[in-house]
Amino acid sequence: MKTASASCGVVLAIRIETTLPAPLCFLRLRPPDQAEWLCANRAIRRGALAELAGQTAGPRLVLIAPSEAITLRQVALPSRKRSTWTRAVPYALEDQVVEDVEALHFALGGPPDGDRLPVAVVNREVLRGWLDVCAQAGLVPVAIVPEPLLLPWREGDWSVLLEERRAVARTGRWDGFATERDVLELLLSRAMTEAGDAKPRRLRVWGHPPPTLTEAGLESRIEDSAPEPLQVFASTYQAAAVINLLQGSYSPQARWGPRLRPWRAAAALASAWLLIQGIGLAHEHWSLRREQIRLRAAMEQVYREVVPGATNIPNPRFQLETRLRELRPASVDASAFLELLYQGGQPLAGFPGVTLRGLGYRDSQMDLDLEGGNSAVLDQLRRKLDQQPGLRIEMRATQREGRVEGKVTLKRASS
């Protein structure tokens, strides 16, 4: 009976097709308008993004973000409901960031490290700028990952990658930073002091020479004296062990096309109406954009004058804040200093004949030492400074050996 049943039975052959994920391609942006990338089974290439776009029809693109523009933090777990974390984290970090939380994007890591939640913080305009650069070349990243989290890490080890002018350090599972090489040892020593009992037993170094640290019992080991950073990053990448900045409104999953398809006609009418309304604002928007570019160039110029020899300035405000934390006591109000620096530097950028020789800041007062121009030019500069809201100005001018020297004191006006 069993034999008959077997002979009359129907045998179903089920074919299971396994679809392998597309290979990864790792990308770093190199200003101006240059990039370097490493795709599977290929050599590292450098050039314009348009060259990469012609080679990456299939691979998934991972953009490696410069850590100078990103802050890595850990916050106490807001609750056990992950759905509440996105709303709670910005307010938990509000006192630890300089910028308005509305201007920042908070990307969450996971799973939580005990009762601590890892978070990566980046300015929304900076993140949008990276995406726009890729989009202009026809590229769409599947992930944007901070550099430090792509360095090798295990319990008891810290990792350091040395490049020509900068260094990237990973000081924990979710911690790390990037800095110029001349201040690396200072920042590593400070990080070890803050680590307390969690100090590393070994420092793994990619590059040469290794940083000189006086920490007792610390072993320094050179993994590669002449590394290729992209190869180091690519060899470590695991999607579950990094923080992908493409979350929330920047997530690839946040595509509303299928849901909005029934509303295309209404959307077309609304778009036409918005276009008509926007024509009147186009000129104003363009003017503001040009002003923003000019102000950023002025901020970079001020940073170069304050920090001679600086070359890599992707985010002058953030880098200047980092320098201030290194050079000034913690009690100094960084936001007040930056506001005075911005209000004083903006008018000064319009007077190329006047040179900033130095500046000082103490007790909520900024002193600018100027040289050049003449009395009429300095009067014009004073009037420009007087136009800055909430600012009190004191200016003194002297003439020495045929040169005009001026000293400007900036204070916040009493409210």
Segment (H or E) for 398: strand 391-400
24-241 and 316-412 in the same fold: no
Looking at residue 223, its amino acid is: E
Backbone angles phi, psi at 166, to 5 degrees: -140, 170
Paired tokens of 121: 């913080």
32 prior amide bond cis, ω within 30:
yes
Distance between CA 192 and CA 198 in Å, rounded? 8
Q: What is the mean pLDDT of residues 68-72?
A: 94
What is the CATH T-level fold of the domain 24-241, as seen in this structure?
Answer: Nucleotidyltransferase; domain 5 (3.30.420)
Q: What is the mean pLDDT of residues 94-99?
A: 86
pLDDT at 156 (0 to 100): 92
Query: Do 203 and 158 contact (CB within 8 A), yes or no?
Result: yes
Output the DSSP codes for 346-390.
Answer: HHHTT-TTSEEEEEEEETTEEEEEEE-S-HHHHHHHHHHHHTSTT
Q: Which of 150-159, 300-309, 373-382, 399-408 has the highest mean pLDDT?
A: 150-159
CATH superfamily of 316-412: General secretion pathway protein M, EpsM (3.30.1360.100)
Q: Which residue ranges make up each domain of the chain?
A: 24-241, 316-412
Paired tokens of 129: 């700028």
User: pTM above 0.75?
Assistant: no
Paired tokens of 180: 């110029």
pLDDT tens for 26-38 read 999 987 778 999 9
Averaged pLDDT of the chain: 82
Kindly report the three-state secondary structure assignment for every residue of 142-199: CEEEEHHHHCCCCCCEEEEEECCCEEEEECCCCCEEEEEHHHHHHHHHHHHHHHHHHC
pLDDT tens for 374-384 read 878 888 888 88
pLDDT tens for 320-371 read 777 766 665 544 466 778 888 887 777 887 887 888 888 888 877 888 888 8
DSSP-derived 3-state class of residue 81:
coil
pLDDT at 73 (0 to 100): 92
Query: Any idea which residue has 């007040």 for tokens?
Result: 336
* % of the chain at pLDDT higher than 90: 31
Give buried/exposed letters for 155-169 (b at 16+ CB in 10 A, else e): eeebbbbbeeebbbb
